[in-house]
Amino acid sequence: MPTRSACDGRMTTRTANILGQATRPADMDFCGTWKVYSEENLEAFLKVMDAPEMIIKMRKDVKPVFVIEQNGEDFTCTMKTPICTKVHSFTIGKESQMTAVDGKKFKCIVREENGKMIAVTERFTSVREIQGDDMVETTTAGDVTFISRSKRV
């Protein structure tokens, strides 16, 4: 019997490939719990996003944990820090409302492209992808690029 993904009940890519069934690319498996271990340009990114100084000071000493769940095209992404927990739910290709670290609401469309999740807003673009054992998120706002690297835990 084919194995099922713990995240959403789909067959794993390896099993489905053996059976010759169409599947999502193996590198699109964002499901699970991820601990951020490295961040580049966080402070500059938060400043360009007009985050309050208090948020910038608190956030730069915190490495978030992300819990990503998937059910077909529907995703729930929970960011946990000692300061707060943010939950974003979205469907690939449909506009969603999300909340920034400073509490401001914004609209976003997330699309899937070549195994990457790409979020586009009026103020920034974020590309989340799997590179080896890491989840890498590259977010660009203006001329500032913020890079976050996480390991599955």
pTM, rounded to two decimals: 0.80
What confidence tens digit (pLDDT) does each residue in 39-50 have?
A: 999 999 999 998
Domain limits of the chain?
A: 32-152
Q: What percent of the chain has pLDDT over 70?
A: 80
pLDDT at 8 over 80: no
Q: What are phi and psi of 62, to 5 degrees?
A: -115, 135
Residue 59 in contact with residue 66, Cβ under 8 Å?
A: no
- Residue in the structure block whose two tokens are 């739910």: 89
Q: Give SS3 for 87.
A: strand
Check: CB of residue 133 under 8 Å from CB of residue 149.
Answer: no
Task: Give the class (CATH, top level) of 32-152.
Answer: mainly beta
Looking up tokens 């300061």 gives 83
